[in-house]
Structures are given as C-alpha cells and as structure tokens.
Chains A and B, each alone.
Chain A
C-alpha cells in the first residue's frame, strides 16, 4: 500500500473533509440543536441535540471543527473545552432518561489546551465522561469521522460500537507531538505516525475499533445512506440487548490483556 500513515493523518485533517455537522445533516432528519452544559457555558466545538434516524428518536453529539477561518476560530478548531464534554454528558444523561440511543461523531485534534480549560478541569471533565459512559444505560455508537486525538476523542468514544472511517485516525498523541517529545524533531512526524499505529486498519488489527467504513464516496448521498442503514441496523440490535453494560465493559476490559509478560502470576 502506498498511502502512508501520515498521509492518512493529512487526509483526516483536510479542510475539505465533511465535518460533524455535515454528518449530522447527512445522516439524520429533524435535528434540533440543544445548547449548554448548565454549569458554565456553551462550547461551540461540541454540537449536540435530538434528531431522527429513519424515524427513530436519537441523541446526536458531534465535535465540530467548522468551515472557513471565521467559523473554525469560533469553534476553537474543534478542540473542546470542559464545558463541551459536560454538555455532551448532560445530553447523554437526557438520552438515558428518555431511552434514546446516542450517536457520537468524533473529529478532534484533541481536547483544548488552554488556561481556561485547565481552570475548569479539563482532566476531570474527560474522566467523568469515561466513568459515566461506562454506566450509561442506553446504546451508544461512536464513529471516528476524521481525527481522533487522544483523551479528547476518547471522552466521546466509550461506546457499545466504535467505528472508524477508512481515512480517519485515532491516536494517543499527535504524530508531531510524539516526534518532538521522542526525537526532539517535529519533522519526524511521518516516522511517528507509522510507529503509533493510528490508521483505521491498525485500529481494526488491534481490535480497538469494531468496523471500518469505506469512504470512496465520502460526503455523497449514497455514502450517508449506507452509513444510515448500518447505524439503524446496529441500534436495533443494541436496543434488544439486555447485557449492554457488561458487554461494553468487556469490550474495553480485554484491550491490552495479552501484551504483557508475566500475565497471571498468581
């Protein structure tokens, strides 16, 4: 294969790539945006609300990078603040109460690195989403549609199904950050990307995601129709499952159990 891991990173970040809101409008009908975390404010980097998927009520949460410079700046380039994660959690709890499934669309370079973000507990906000989603008693499907940057992406990806677009990436750290920490040279991002195993195929091989979604017709009506049908089928399956939470736990529980020496020494 001639497409390098870092090529995929660039594709995932491409400004012309459909964003969270494009996916919302492509996949759902009757979307109504619901704002605010009821604690501090409303983070435009996270868009959430209610919608219908082939008629079925759902809660949708997307990270939105924005289109065009002005919009992108206003949305913090799709790097959520704590209030973004708290808004997402509020909407997820609302979904649980009214027995609606949750669909998360993830596209972020990572959680916002800022003074305000630290003052308002970025780490705590992400941590709370992880524990809350582990126990959220309604089906969750998370789809990585572009960049899946570290904890800021994981905070919306503790789900029953984690899917990934063919050219999306999912990584513990940006390749540039990794290269500058390890080799003091951000220009070695190419090398870091290869090492990090961050492509959709890598994530499939590592059993971190369950499905890879082809994107030859990305953004076209047939693409959304296919994904919509896939989602709809999956939500039906999940809504009939009674051991939802223990299966969600087990999905994550098994990751990284076989990669050690001295496993089970007791």
Chain B
C-alpha cells in the first residue's frame, strides 16, 4: 500500500474528533513509525487510533487535512480560496520547481488551508497550515488567504481558530513575503478591534516570521506538547552566541514557563478545549 493511499484511507477509519471507530487490529506487515522521543516503534494504525500521538506522549506532526479531520465537526469544513496559489513573482532561481514538487508531495495548492467550520457545534473560521508544503512557509498566497479569512470573519462576525506550523516567511518571494506579516497583522487587528475572538494553536514547528506575526497575536494562545516554537532558529542562535542552548529551549513548555503561551493542550482534548473556548466567547458578557 502506498503511503499516500494509506493517508487518505486509514485502516481504522477516524471519526471526526479522532476517536477510533473500530478496535485496533494489529497487522504484522503494516508500517511502523519510530518515535524520536522514546525510540520505540509503533504500528501506524495504532498511532492513528491515538491521533498520531505516541504512547509516550510524543505528538507526531499532522497534515492540515488530518488536523481538520480531528478538529472540525464531521463534514463541517467549507474550504475557501482553495485554488489560490503563489506564482513566482520574483523569478527566484529554482522556486517554480520547488512549488511544483511541494504541490505534488503534499497534494495541496498552498501551505495553508482556510475555510469555515464548526467545532463542537460552534461556527468559526479555521486556518490550518500544512507542514508538507515547504514547511508551511508564508508567501503571498498564504498571506492573502489568511487576510481574506480574517476579513471574512470580520464581515460575518465569526471567531478565528488558527493552527500554525511554519518555518517562517518564504524567502523565494522575498520582500513580498515579509510584507505578508504586516498585511495579516492588519487584518488580525481589525478583527480584534471588532471584539471578535482569535484562538491560536501552536504546533511543531512554528518559527520565524510566523511567530513574529499572527502566531503570537491570538487572544488565547494554546500549544501542542513538545512543539518547537521560537523566532530565530536554534542552530542560528547556537552559532551566533557560541553557547549551549538550555534543555527544552524553544519548546511549548519553555513558552509557557516564560509567559508566552496560555496553556499546553494535548491533542486528545484539542476539540473539547477549543469548542469550550468558542462557546464561552460566543456567549458574550454584558453586551
């Protein structure tokens, strides 16, 4: 069975919300994944039944559609601007081929999926970044999709839930990528000024220009356990400072300790937690 087919046709069909519908069956021949944390290998179907979390608690990365499947109510996701994708505005050497291969390998047009959805019955705008597409990097199309999503949410008075995973601004679109940080931040600001709720879920990894913009602009910032979140790359910091990095540097736990995340939430309760927060903010106080 090809990896791709397996991805779209898991043995243990997942219900939205990620609970396994059938008891897990072990299959000798099925592929396994080795956990970078505990070094143990687990059959892929068993990982799937556990929302791609190792029994030790290590959270493997999720593709954007997989994450939407876990978060959104069944069939509630309506994708917006699905065909919008970056060209090669700067004619940057090798970029066109890179885009082509990113599209082929991820099966997505761009590094973020945007749309409307319901989470535990709560309507919202939802964006989820795609690690399989140039590690979720932000070029003009990602910036434009996110801006349109926040503008749509403002018009329709909807909250926004965003799952970030990104290496930062996409260097092949140069300054135009950098400006997307300002553009999206402007849209976030307008949405916020209208009294609307924006929840961020930081996932592994969230770095660079995305950390320095919309990933840190939520009213509430949640993080997945163990996720790497930071501005500068750890290697760059090590080379610049010539110092050993402290243990657990730039992890979700590090962020929590230093006051830059509201809570660390394991994947098994993302849906409940986010659903609760959406409901709470939807109720309003004294209007």
Interface residues of A (CB under 8 A from B): 111, 113-115, 117-124, 126-128, 130-131, 134-135, 150-151, 154-155, 157-158, 170-173, 177-178, 181-182, 191, 195-198, 202-203, 206, 208, 248-249, 252-253, 255-257, 259-263, 265-266
Contact = CB atoms under 8 A, between A and B. Distances in A.
A118 B190 CA distance: 28
A252 B230 contact: no
Nearest to B250: A118
For this complex, into which size category does the number of interface residues on chain B fall? 35 or more
A182 B172 CA distance: 10
A66 B167 CA distance: 31
- Chain B CB within 10 Å — which of A113, A157, A248, A266 has the most? A113
B6 interface: no
A262 B84 contact: yes
Nearest to B187: A253
Contacts of B259: 121
Nearest to A263: B84
A96 to B, nearest CB: 14
Given A260-B140, A260-B144, A261-B87, A253 B183 contact: yes
24 contacts: A111-B212, A111-B231, A113-B233, A114-B232, A114-B240, A115-B241, A115-B249, A121-B259, A122-B231, A124-B260, A131-B186, A134-B185, A171-B175, A172-B171, A172-B177, A173-B169, A197-B174, A197-B175, A198-B175, A206-B176, A261-B84, A265-B82, A265-B83, A266-B81
Interface in B113-152: 139-141, 143-144, 147
Interface in B174-192: 174-183, 185-190, 192
Contact of B189 (A134, A150, A181, A260): A134
B246 interface: yes
B173 interface: yes
Interface of B: 80-87, 89-90, 92-94, 109, 139-141, 143-144, 147, 169-183, 185-190, 192-193, 208-209, 211-217, 229-233, 236-237, 240-241, 243, 245-246, 249-250, 254, 258-260
A256 B176 contact: yes
- Chain B CB within 10 Å — which of A121, A177, A198 has the most? A121
A115 B244 CA distance: 10
- Chain A CB within 10 Å — which of B143, B174, B230 has the most? B174
Nearest to B218: A127
Given A113-B232, A118-B232, A135-B189, A127 B84 contact: no
B86 to A, nearest CB: 6
A133 to B, nearest CB: 8
Nearest to B98: A182
Identify the 5 closest CB pairs spanning chains A and B, nearest first.
A256-B140, A262-B83, A123-B211, A130-B185, A113-B232
B87 A259 contact: yes
Given A113-B236, A252-B186, A131 B192 contact: yes
B212 A126 contact: yes
A114 B213 CA distance: 19
Nearest to B208: A151
Contacts of A181: 171
Given A170-B175, A172-B178, A173-B169, 6 more contacts: A118-B231, A123-B230, A130-B186, A181-B171, A195-B172, A208-B175
Nearest to A119: B258
A255 B186 CA distance: 12
B181 A121 contact: no
Given A117-B232, A191-B93, A196 B171 contact: yes
Contacts of B213: 126-127, 130, 151
A173 B92 CA distance: 14
Contact of B87 (A151, A252, A255, A260): A260
A123 B185 contact: no
Nearest to B178: A172
B179 A127 contact: no
Contacts of B176: 206, 208, 255-256, 259
- Chain A CB within 10 Å — which of B171, B178, B188, B229 has the most? B178
B177 A131 contact: no
A195 B254 CA distance: 36
A115 B85 contact: no
